[in-house]
Amino acid sequence: MNRTALNEVAGIIILTALCAAATTTDAKQLQAINTAAPSSQSTDDIVLYTAVWCAYCKEAIAHLTKNGYKYRSINIDSHEGMAAFAQASGNGVPLLLVGKQRVEGFSKVVYNGLLTLSAKAQ
């Protein structure tokens, strides 16, 4: 089995374990991440759209920071940030983009699943 296939199998195993602990919404997002093409982006290419008034955004920022992920934060409260958010077809914050993958809202389980798969795809 080649490295790509091993990474895909490892990703499926990780997502299966995470789904066991996830809510229904989390499980749906994890399934969508699992069925999409794996991202070839590095974790340096993580973008997080946030707003200063958003409590879930603060949790997302704390989670990414605590786990040592490098990411670019875009504040949608600014004119430029809102324009970028609209271009990304955002519907709500926080919005996490990792390559072509996206997560709207915040869930530790879903964030960990996506970021783990992204790191394994490298």
The tokens for 47 are: 């973008």
Cα dihedral across residues 73, 40, 29, 5: positive or negative: negative
Average pLDDT over residues 50-75: 96
List, in sequence order, the alpha helices (H) in the chain. 3-21, 24-35, 55-66, 79-87, 108-120
| CATH dotted code for 3-120 | 3.40.30.10
Under a CB-based contact definition with an 8 Å cutoff, are residues 72 and 46 in contact? yes
Instruction: Please give the DSSP secondary-structure letter assigned to residue 43.
Output: G
Average pLDDT over residues 60-67: 95
Q: How confident is the model at residue 33 (pLDDT cuts 50, 70, 90)?
A: very low
